[in-house]
Amino acid sequence: GFVWDQDGHIVTNNHVVEGADLIQVTFNDGTASIAELVGTDVDSDLAVIRIDPAGYALRPIRLGALEDIYVGMRVVAIGNPFGLEGTLTSGIVSATGRSIPARASFSIPGSIQTDAAINPGNSGGPLLNEQGELIGVNAQIRSEERANSGVGFAIPVNIVARVVPGHIADG
């Protein structure tokens, strides 16, 4: 996940926290905090959790713009693939406007396809442009080989910017 605001809200994927009894956030400096679930949405596969921000120097992510995303744009994906902490992979935007399946009966439109490695553990992490701005939330990999090599997908920033404030306001 990634820090949304200085009030302690953190964004991740719904499928990352779905069914969890306890949620722990570990920052890259090794500090950790227990988080509460604020809101989830199966249709967008997004969730918001919250930690008590006291004692943490939270730096909210900056949002990029959907209209600035283009095929060939260099991107990085951050996550913890296979439990390996603090991993950054790089690649390009391979396509835009993809529709990826959500866990419910809906699809997530306008998704970003990337060749940056998206593996189990990358879910919920940010897909960033070269300015370090959020352009998507790492969500899925599609592979014909039943392996973790294939095409990665991220939920686009415009959906994140629309859904997250509602989670914070209404759960």
pLDDT digits (tens, 9 = 90+) for 94-131: 999 998 877 767 888 999 999 998 888 888 999 999 99
pLDDT at 83: 76
Task: Establish whether 45 is a catalytic residue.
Answer: yes
* pTM over 0.85, yes/no: yes
Please pick, among 9, 15, 94, 167, the residue that the annotation labels catalytic. 15
Which of the four pLDDT bands, split at 50, 70 and 90, describes residue 84? confident
Q: Which of 9, 44, 123, 167 is catalytic?
A: 123
**Active-site entry in 45, 94, 111, 167:** 45
| DSSP per-residue codes, 99-158 | EEE-SSS-EEEEEEEE-S---TT-TT-EEE-TTS-EEEEEEEEE-TTSSS-SEEEEEEHH
The per-residue pLDDT for range 26-42, each reduced to its tens digit, is: 998 889 999 999 999 99
Q: What confidence score (pLDDT) does residue 146 get? A: 54
In this predicted structure, the answer to whether residue 148 has a pLDDT above a threshold of 70 is no
Q: How far apart are CA 41 and CA 13, in angstroms?
A: 9
Contacts of residue 30, Cβ cutoff 8 Å, sequence gap at least 6? none
